[in-house]
Structure 1
Amino acid sequence: MINNVILVTGGAKGIGRGICELLASNEATVVAVDIDEDAGFELVAHDPRIRFRRADVTSESEISAVITEIQAQFGRLDGLVNNAAIATPYNAPVESLELHDWNQIIAVNLTAPLLVAKLCLPLLKESKGSIVNISSTRAAQSEPNTEAYSASKGGLVSLSHALAASLGPDIRVNCVSPGWIDTSNEELRAVDHAQHLTGRVGQANDVASMIKYLLSTDASFITGQNFTVDGGITKKMIYAE
């Protein structure tokens, strides 16, 4: 990881911030992209090893400008983490779901990772780099009224293995699907932790550690895979009593 340059979208807060901080602590040069300027400035004030650029991941011109700057400043890009997303999983009931709302979630959560990956290809091919897409356990499980988010995350799992087939052997592409990851620092109930096989709700660092591994040369034989990081909860048999 040392001396690698990594681009992280949605990097200013939540899981994205955890990813940026862990990679930077392992001596990577991290460029965090986010639309939340206040959170981005707070991030770099807290950790000056991280660079922040405000950009909308759905804007080809804005992301192109970021990548041009990376090339000019560092001359390389070794990894891309597509983390940016509209994170609220719930939408209106299907009978009243507006097409605009559906399209917005698909644009940010699914189309943008393809766009950013496409724009990063020249630099990633040169470095024989790696892409990690952040999906969700909701790609495989659902609650009512989560059609848009679930579809976007399910599509991202499929996009990941399709890109792995198209871009290999030069570029590896993998996917990470987090479960319940607490980024709010609010006090959780004992039952929230106990329902996980690990006995606790996840933290951003749990996801970041998997991403750090997948970006590294230690994972050079791994591509096209989806890794679930959820404390085992999706493997737990549950019956109503």
Structure 2
Amino acid sequence: MELSKLTIKEIKAKVNNFEEISEDLIEKLAADSRKGVQKLARQIVRRQEKREEAIAKFKKMSRHEDRLRQQGYNLIAGIDEAGRGPLAGPVVAAAVILPEDTLILGVDDSKKLSEKKREELFAVIQEKALGIGVGIVDSQTIDRINILQATYQAMREAVADLEQVPDYLLIDAEHLPETDLAQAAITEGDSNSVSIAAASIIAKVTRDRILVDYDQQFPEYNLAQHKGYGTQKHIQALREHGPTPIHRTSFKIVKKLS
């Protein structure tokens, strides 16, 4: 690339098409007399440093899956849930099987990600995963069997929803009862396992979309904003309007305001 014949805009357009920029090109950009090109060189260095950090983080978060593959397990499903604490809506669990050679940069505990980033990663996981299963347990069932048992039920439904039967389950902080599959509970698994982190994103985005739909039915509760969690505005709406059919009447504050 002969930089002197290109405008800064043209240089930016060209380098933005490269996934990685060679050190030789970065040196040429840094040596250019134009301050805009020098600034671009610094931006590229920072961008590539961030990418290397993201790759290193992904590899670190893959250590549980790598260890299990060395032991002969191939279809390793990460499992996580979303919606255990809210006052309204279902609890949703997801099970995700990722291929061995995948690289999904930025995957992390869904609670640490912005809504925009979760949506972006949701699409990437859908594209790259070997299998995705989702389990949804409604508020009436939560009231009947309690939230812990409802969470377990959602997790079992998510595993059953997979097209392939996994040979190992990695679960965020839980052991899943009533299953014969080999499993391990991973402490803070959504931050320490790529499979569980991917499952946390699928579960969170799926549940959030359900609450956005419910917002159309019950606009006075502003469910699209707080997703059923016990915010001040949500509690005030409960005081004014009482619970809806999607509220968890077994939860203390909902019962109190019923």
After TM superposition, the score normalised by the length of structure 1 is 0.29
**Higher radius of gyration, 1 or 2:** 2
Q: Which has the higher strand share?
A: 1
Q: Quick one: higher RCO (CA 8 Å, sep 6+), 1 or 2?
A: 2
